Chains A and B, each alone.
Chain A
Amino acid sequence: MTQVALQSRLPRTYRIKSIKQETEMVRTFTFDGSLGAKPGQFVMVWLPGVDEVPMSVAEDDGAVTKLTFFAVGDMTKELATRKGGDLVGLRGPFGTFYEWKPGEHIVLVAGGYGAAPMYFVAKETVSHGCTMEVIVGERSKEHLLYLKELESLPHVSLHVATNDGSVGHKGLNTEVLEKLLEACQSKDDGQTEKEGKAPSFAPLELRKGKQKTGKAKSSDAVDQVFACGPEMMLKRVSEITAHYKVPSQLSLERYMKCGYGLCGNCVVDPLGIRLCCEGPVVKNETCVNITEFGKYHRDALGKKHLFGEKT
């Protein structure tokens, strides 16, 4: 029962210290104080009299806690009307978090507002001597999040993909991931890197104190891939990283109530694991066994809904 002391399962309201308008629909609230959240963990965010929803933590540096949210649902639209000094309830942190070893070379794949928790990961990992390729994907330029923050970090090489090509690669961030892993693999195979085909953005010179053995067939230049974003993007990251035999950790999302393993609403088929306890960050070796991954999710009643279906 020791974890109870570290984790708040009872919401407490905090006053919004400052608000940053990130894009038209996305805001970041900063609160004084820390819940001790690690990158990838989530908190339950409560608006008294309205609702409570789970949100990934955008930053918790021990002094302040930040939440970046997209005003899409009833609760988050209401939340977006709150001003500095207004009260918001927080409880947590809950769930698993991204895990790495010092000095690893990690690729981060961020889709949509997944960029916020990915920034939190990047900030922590670079402080552990890791080097990073960050691939941020969005519909178009004006929706991109956390670019400046990511650019400001050392040992981070930033790649941008937009659906409309308004900046960076025209297409999906997962296409950039695939090219990157393919380039690493062809190097491992002893083939000459073809200029133009291999991404010119792979700054392997940033990697410190690591030498490739050259014998492994897998893409060992990249130690791990972390991803956070829409389910269909995650599904693609799962497929790509499995294909290139690179370990990956994916942040999955399901409807949640309690946040600590009791209600059973965020359980996935057929494993029965709870995404609030055994997730939200799940290793791909487990993700590939989740049959509903990329197919359906359940609502508050436990009813199935296919991805892409209107709810």
Chain B
Amino acid sequence: MNLSQTILGVTFENPTVLASGIMGITASSWRFAAKNGAGAITTKSLWLREHKGHPNPTIISTAHWTLNAVGVPDAGPEKAREEIGSFMQDKPVPLIANIIADSVENFAKTAEEILPLKLDFLEVNISCPNVEDEFGKPFACSAPDAARVTKAVKAVSKKTPVFIKLSPNVDNIGAIARACAEAGADGFTAINTVGPGMAIDLRSRMPILANKVGGLSGPGIKPIAVKCIADVYAATDGELPIIGTGGVYTGEDALELILAGASLVGIGTALGERGVDTFAKICEEMQLFCTNEGIDDIADLVGGMHRELASRGQALKKSSSSNIAL
């Protein structure tokens, strides 16, 4: 049973991807994820300049959910060049560089800093819910804003495919995806964390996260991820690849996101519970299910739910056209 796919000219040995923000600070960490089965790795969000995160506590969990407000710390492009440069020397798996910025112009400038490092995909984080106090509502919450960022990055990205990382915390993720597609996006990552949410310590009566609120992840967000991926896939006629991310713990979770429309599947929070070799475990579990079901190629499953619905005349409605003037 074949788990490998070639997407926009890049070959992935398996569909699992280390999600951005998780274990993503150094080349050593990326290699460790690759060694444990990751089909690709995504860097933690890279800024144009050094950016401080939030004080601790920044990540807290129960068996049901994780809240994080790390605040996107980064040491800036010099460190990115050192770490990505080091990874590229032997490059065990494809590298997706995730960038973040506080303005449309700075997204383009950050892309220009990072693109010469010959990464495979550029992932544009317009959807972090943890820096709202600093920067206001994420760009991903408005179709015109999301499209403007996409257009600006595409103007400098040349041949490197640009994936826009979308927020689930919007009324119509399909319309936003369509606006980005019209602005030239090559693919999407869906979804960023949900919420934000909050947790309070009973005795001290204080919010536990230093940032008070944080993005929600963990097994419970998977149904939201599945729905968002399905909407994005339908809104773009399944023409653009999607890195599906959200609540994936098992091979069957991954297959569900793939049926919704994902080509690749991001793994994050699960690593804290199932271990760093969750990638390998998920691949084995996908193999097992597919072999038992007589499925030969993972690519045949991408968007499978949409084809099944269409064959019954029940296809998901495409969201109305965005009609954005850029």
Contact = CB atoms under 8 A, between A and B. Distances in A.
Contacts of B22: 262-264
B23 A52 contact: no
Nearest to A257: B58
26 contacts: A10-B199, A12-B201, A13-B201, A13-B203, A44-B57, A46-B57, A48-B206, A50-B55, A52-B55, A52-B57, A89-B57, A89-B201, A257-B58, A258-B58, A260-B61, A261-B271, A261-B272, A262-B59, A263-B58, A264-B24, A267-B23, A272-B30, A274-B23, A300-B53, A300-B73, A301-B52
Contacts of B55: 50-52
Given A262-B59, A301-B52, A257 B199 contact: no
A4 B218 CA distance: 13
A268 B28 contact: yes
Interface residues of B, number: 49
A264 B29 contact: yes
Interface string B177-215: 000000000000000000000010111101010100000
B23 A11 contact: no
A209 interface: no
A303 interface: yes
Interface in A56-81: none
A50 to B, nearest CB: 8
B56 A13 contact: no
Contacts of A4: 61-63, 273
A272 B79 contact: no
- Shortest 4 CB-CB contacts between residues of A and residues of B: A272-B32, A52-B56, A264-B23, A258-B59
Contacts of A273: 32
B297 interface: no
A301 B62 contact: no
Nearest to B47: A301
A49 B200 CA distance: 12
B contact face: mostly helix, strand, loop, or mixed: loop
B70 interface: yes
B57 A1 contact: no
Nearest to A74: B55
A260 B50 CA distance: 25
Contacts of B275: 261, 277
A108 to B, nearest CB: 30
Nearest to B201: A13
Interface string A263-281: 1110111111110010000
Interface of B: 22-26, 28-33, 35, 44, 50-53, 55-63, 66, 68, 70, 73-75, 79, 199, 201-204, 206, 208, 210, 268-269, 271-276
Interface string A234-250: 00000000000000000
A53 B57 CA distance: 8
Interface in A1-36: 1, 3-5, 9-13, 15
A264 B52 contact: no
Contacts of B210: 51-52
B75 to A, nearest CB: 4
Given A3-B273, A263-B22, A274-B23, 14 more contacts: A4-B63, A11-B208, A48-B204, A49-B206, A52-B56, A52-B57, A257-B59, A258-B68, A261-B271, A262-B66, A263-B58, A263-B70, A270-B28, A303-B50
B56 A302 contact: no
